[in-house]
């Protein structure tokens, strides 16, 4: 009778541990299926933020280039105006 009790207790513990293990697997699968889309969304948002940061850096570089080009154009326009004034003076003589 003692042997049957030990066998029954051993089998009950084994079955209980197996059920707990299966339940853990099912819960983990459910959690991973819920979290997977969230992780994907986080990756997409991270990629978008990185793209925006790069775009912002490029925008700053383009702004700096625009300022330099604008200064050069202004310088050229001033030269052109001086040349035109000299031409007008020479033609008026």
Pair of tokens at residue 14: 């084994």
| Interatomic CA distance for residues 53 and 56, integer angstroms | 5
pLDDT confidence band for 28 (50 / 70 / 90): very high
Pair of tokens at residue 55: 């775009």
Mean pLDDT of the region 55-69: 77
pLDDT score for 64: 78
Q: What is the pTM of this model?
A: 0.43
Output the average pLDDT for the chain. 85
| Interatomic CA distance for residues 45 and 48, integer angstroms | 5
pLDDT score for 18: 92
Report the 3 state secondary structure along 17-58.
HHHHHHHHHHHHHHHHHHHHHHHHHHHHHHHHHHHHHHHHHH
pLDDT confidence band for 4 (50 / 70 / 90): low
Residue 28 phi/psi, 5-degree rounding, is: -60, -40
């Amino acid at each position: 009778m003692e042997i049957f009790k030990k066998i029954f207790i051993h089998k009950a513990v084994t079955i209980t541990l197996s059920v707990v293990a299966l339940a853990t697997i099912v819960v983990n699968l459910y959690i991973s299926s819920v979290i997977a889309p969230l992780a994907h969304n986080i990756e997409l948002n991270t990629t978008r933020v990185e793209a925006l940061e790069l775009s912002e850096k490029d925008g700053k570089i383009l702004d700096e280039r625009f300022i330099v080009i604008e200064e050069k154009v202004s310088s050229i326009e001033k030269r052109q105006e001086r040349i035109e004034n000299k031409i007008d003076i020479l033609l008026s003589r």
